């Protein structure tokens, strides 16, 4: 695909729930190879926008393009097959399957093997070496045989990342990758995202500003479903409108003093 | 393409594979299973035990009509197929069908009609019946898999009721309340009028149907189904078209239920509207719950238990059979949530 197209683009993206506009005419262009953070106060529409960008919600109006190709209206599996992979904010795994089986399933999703009800599941072992590599990458190699239900919270989040990576995505959307994590896990996750961003485009919703500062090339601030400010992290952080949105008018005056 | 993948996999680190295999073997034993159905995809049952079980089951299956009335043995075999078909959806895909009598009954009628009007050998008639069930399952499944939970159950029930009323009204074909009488049992001129011999003639079809479901559950496809059962949204995010997978499972289930229904028609040499009644769907679900959801032995054991119990009760002149099976069902749900087989294996596993 030619490089003048953004990896992911939204034009006038709008989502209405019974007259309430959760996302209101959002324009977004995520340059290929960049890390783009979506931030904003609670209720700003981040999660709705995220679900629109991955096909989990159909937009009321507007378009979505992946590398210049219109994908508006596709189902989530359609987005996945076009190289858009996502993680979930609330950890979302297959409780009874092991970590290894999770990654094997993700690796298999591109082939037709998943339809073969007349073949043995042992055939999925062709994915085992690559699955173990991915588990190793996120620090889960020792826990490959543990079922998802039995994994600790931080480990579940790591497995989420391994699953998204297994899809070899060109665009990786991470929904609050460090939510609910302890400091140590946050550092580990930041290092991991920094390592895997090479050759990929990453869009992340994130509350933790130090994580955003460490990783993001550009930041889009949402408020009431609209884009408030968009730009490089340092610029956005110093913007009065952003400080107001987060902390109220008083904070700007306080910052001025 | 698949050849290429295989070669790359083979070329991959052998050590990694060994490590993974070892992890696979030990992990199941330590993973807590909670109240959800038994772990699926791999198994902690040692190989020798599995083969012993399969051998014992084969022996029991071969002995069955010598220890029970052959008619009861045939019924057990048919209901085992039906229950396993329902469990493929309920236990392995997370879909509760409350209208599977539509497929069992449609197959029974189609099999009966094919045997009566075309004089087909009974295995062919049964196969035709099962295919008729699949044809019906395409539109029903297509609409039903778009709903989840109780709504899926309601859609399947609604369709089953529709089929029941159509069969009731379409007297020229189904003979209405009189039912299809004198369904022949043709197999290359062999005399199968004795239930004892018919049981053995039917056994390969039963074994084939059970094998089909066993194979499905332990296939790459089955692994995807379990993933869908545990978390459909996640499966979609991985790129799996969940609706189409559910529909495929639905068709396989309808086919297996159809094999059971077809054999049931030939076994009784009679098809009545009962095969389409909603209580027939309910009985299949009860058998699965009693035997153990998400296990394959469970529905088979459940079918044997319920059929035997019903036969015993009716032989003893007890009229309210539903009262007894209903009470057992309530007790099972309250006390043994894993069902007969599930409770047994859970208990053995902990020791």
* Verdict on whether the full-model pTM lies above 0.95: no
Partner A contacted by B50 (CB < 8 A): no
- The reported pLDDT for the residue numbered A252 is 59
CA B258 to chain centre: 10
| CA-CA-CA-CA dihedral for B203, B205, B208, B209, to nearest 10 | -110
Considering only residues 246 to 285 of chain B, which have any Cβ-Cβ distance to chain A shorter than 8 Å?
248, 252
Dihedral sign of CA atoms A28, A33, A34, A35 in order = positive
Q: Which domains does chain A have, with CATH numbers?
A: 8-93+170-182+198-256 (3.40.50.300)
* Contact of B41 with B224, CB cutoff 8 Å: no
Task: Name which residue leads in pLDDT, B245 or A180.
Answer: B245
Q: Strand A69-70 vs strand A61-66: parallel, antiparallel, or unpaired?
A: antiparallel
What burial letters (b/e) apply to A238-247, b meaning 16+ CB within 10 Å? ebeebbbbee
pLDDT of A253 reads 62
Is A119 in Cβ contact with B220 (below 8 Å)? yes
Q: Given B32, B41, B236, which is nearest A97 (Cβ)?
A: B41
Q: What sign for the dihedral angle of Cα B122, B165, B140, B158? A: negative
DSSP state, A16?
E
User: Which string of DSSP letters, residue by residue, matches B155-200?
Assistant: HHHHHHHHHHHHHHH-HHHH-GGG-B------STT----SHHHHHH
Query: Could you identify the residue written with the tokens 């769907």?
Result: B281
Distance from CA of B28 to the nearest CA of A (A): 7
Chain A positions touching B27 (Cβ under 8 A) are 98, 144-147
Residues 112-171 of B with CB under 8 A from A: none
Q: Which residues contact B196 (CB under 8 A, 6 or more apart)?
A: B65, B70
Q: What pLDDT shows up at residue B42?
A: 43
CB A111 within 8 A of CB B2: yes
**pLDDT surpassing 90 at residue A132:** yes
- Residue B204 makes CB contacts below 8 A (sequence gap 6+) with none
By Cβ distance, the residue of B20, B41, B221 closest to A115 is: B221
Among A77, A93, A132, beta carbon nearest to B16: A132
Rounded mean pLDDT of chain A? 87
Q: What is the pLDDT of residue A219?
A: 92
Contact at CB, A119 and B219, closer than 8 angstroms: yes
Higher pLDDT, B21 or A130: A130
Give the span between the Cα atoms of A218 and B202, in whole angstroms. Answer: 69
The secondary element (H helix, E strand) that includes residue B39 is none
A36, burial (CB in 10 Å: exposed 0-12, middle 13-18, buried 19+): buried
Are B13 and A129 an interchain contact pair (Cβ–Cβ within 8 Å)?
yes
Helical axes A128-137 vs B14-30, angle rounded to 10°: 80
**How high is the pLDDT of residue B176?**
74
pLDDT at residue number B177: 77
**Both structure tokens of B291:** 């035997």
Contacts of B233 in chain A (CB under 8 A): 56, 76, 88, 92
Q: What is the pLDDT of residue A249?
A: 59
Query: B230, A93: Cβ pair inside 8 Å?
Result: yes
Alpha-carbon distance of A166 to A130, in angstroms, equals 9
Which stretches of chain B score pLDDT less than 50?
A: 1-43
Q: What are phi and psi of A9, to 5 degrees?
A: -140, 140
Question: Are B276 and B165 in contact, with CB atoms under 8 Å apart?
Answer: no
Half-sphere exposure of A234 (CA within 13 A, CB side): 0
Cα dist from B65 to A64, A84, B184, B197, whole Å: 65, 58, 21, 9
CA distance B207 to B201: 11
| Count helices and strands in chain A by DSSP H and E runs | 10, 10
Spatial distance between the Cα atoms of B47 and B42, rounded to a whole number of angstroms: 12
pLDDT of A97 over the 60 cut? yes
User: How distant is the Cα of A257 from the closest Cα of chain B, in angstroms?
Assistant: 48
CB neighbours of residue B11 within 10 Å: 9
Cα end-to-end distance, chain B, whole Å = 46
CB A178 within 8 A of CB A186: yes
Please tell me the distance in Å from A235's CA to the nearest CA on chain B.
34
Lowest mean pLDDT among A103-112, A238-247, B45-54: A238-247
Q: For residue range A187-200, list pLDDT tens digits in order.
A: 888 988 898 888 88
Cα atoms in the Cβ-side hemisphere of radius 13 Å centred on B316 = 9
User: What's the pLDDT at A206?
Assistant: 87
Whether residue A1 is predicted with pLDDT greater than 50 in this model: the reply is: no
Contact B74, B198 (CB under 8 A): yes
Please, is B240 exposed, middle or buried when counting C-beta atoms within 10 Å of its C-beta (0-12, 13-18, 19+)?
buried
């Amino acid at each position: 695909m030619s490089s003048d197209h953004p990896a992911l683009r939204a034009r006038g993206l709008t989502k209405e729930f019974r007259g309430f506009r959760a996302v209101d005419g959002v324009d977004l262009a995520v340059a290929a190879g960049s890390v783009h953070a979506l931030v904003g106060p609670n209720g700003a529409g981040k999660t709705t926008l995220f679900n629109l960008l991955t096909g989990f919600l159909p937009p009321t109006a507007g378009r979505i393009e992946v590398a210049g190709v219109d994908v508006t209206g596709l189902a989530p599996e359609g987005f996945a097959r076009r190289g858009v992979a996502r993680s979930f904010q609330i950890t979302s795994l297959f409780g009874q399957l092991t970590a290894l089986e999770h990654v094997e399933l993700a690796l298999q999703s591109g082939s037709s093997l998943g339809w073969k009800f007349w073949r043995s599941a042992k055939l999925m072992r062709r994915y085992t070496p690559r699955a173990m590599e991915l588990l190793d990458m996120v620090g889960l190699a020792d826990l490959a045989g543990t079922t998802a239900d039995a994994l600790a919270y931080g480990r579940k989040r790591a497995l989420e990342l391994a699953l998204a990576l297994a899809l070899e995505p060109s665009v990786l959307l991470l929904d609050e990758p460090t939510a609910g994590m302890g400091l140590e896990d946050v550092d580990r996750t930041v290092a991991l995202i920094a390592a895997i961003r090479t050759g990929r485009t990453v869009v992340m919703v994130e509350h933790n500003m130090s994580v955003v500062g460490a990783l993001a090339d550009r930041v889009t601030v949402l408020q009431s479903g609209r884009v408030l400010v968009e730009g490089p992290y340092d610029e956005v952080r110093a913007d009065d409108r952003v400080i107001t949105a987060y902390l109220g008018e008083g904070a700007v005056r306080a910052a001025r003093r | 393409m698949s050849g290429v993948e295989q070669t790359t996999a083979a070329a991959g680190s052998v050590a990694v594979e060994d490590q993974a295999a070892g992890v696979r073997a030990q992990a199941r034993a330590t993973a807590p299973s909670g109240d959800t159905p038994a772990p699926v995809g791999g198994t902690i049952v040692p190989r020798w035990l599995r083969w012993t079980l399969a051998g014992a089951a084969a022996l029991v299956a071969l002995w069955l009509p010598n220890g029970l009335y052959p008619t009861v043995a045939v019924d057990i075999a048919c209901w085992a197929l039906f229950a396993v078909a329902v469990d493929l959806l309920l236990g392995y895909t997370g879909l509760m069908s409350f209208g599977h009598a539509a497929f069992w009954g449609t197959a029974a009628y189609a099999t009966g009609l094919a045997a009566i009007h075309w004089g087909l050998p009974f295995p062919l008639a049964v196969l035709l019946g099962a295919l008729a069930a699949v044809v019906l399952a395409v539109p029903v499944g297509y609409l039903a898999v778009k709903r989840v939970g109780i709504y899926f159950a309601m859609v399947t029930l609604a369709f089953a009721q529709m089929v029941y009323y159509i069969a009731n009204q379409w007297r020229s074909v189904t003979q209405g309340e009189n039912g299809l009488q004198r369904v022949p049992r043709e197999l290359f001129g062999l005399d199968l009028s004795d239930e004892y011999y018919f049981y053995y003639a039917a056994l390969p079809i039963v074994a084939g149907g059970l094998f089909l479901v066993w194979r499905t559950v332990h296939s790459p496809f089955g692994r995807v189904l379990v993933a869908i059962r545990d978390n459909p949204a996640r499966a979609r995010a991985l790129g799996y078209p969940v609706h189409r997978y559910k529909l495929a499972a639905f068709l396989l289930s309808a086919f297996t239920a159809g094999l059971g229904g077809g054999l049931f028609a030939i076994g009784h040499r009679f098809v009545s509207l009962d095969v389409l009644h909603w209580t027939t769907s309910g009985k299949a679900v009860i058998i699965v719950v009693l035997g153990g959801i998400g296990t394959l032995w469970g529905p088979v054991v459940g079918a044997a238990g319920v059929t035997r119990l019903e036969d015993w009760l009716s032989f003893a002149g007890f009229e309210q059979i539903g009262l007894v099976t209903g009470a057992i069902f309530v007790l099972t749900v309250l006390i043994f949530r894993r069902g007969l087989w599930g409770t047994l294996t859970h208990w053995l596993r902990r020791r």
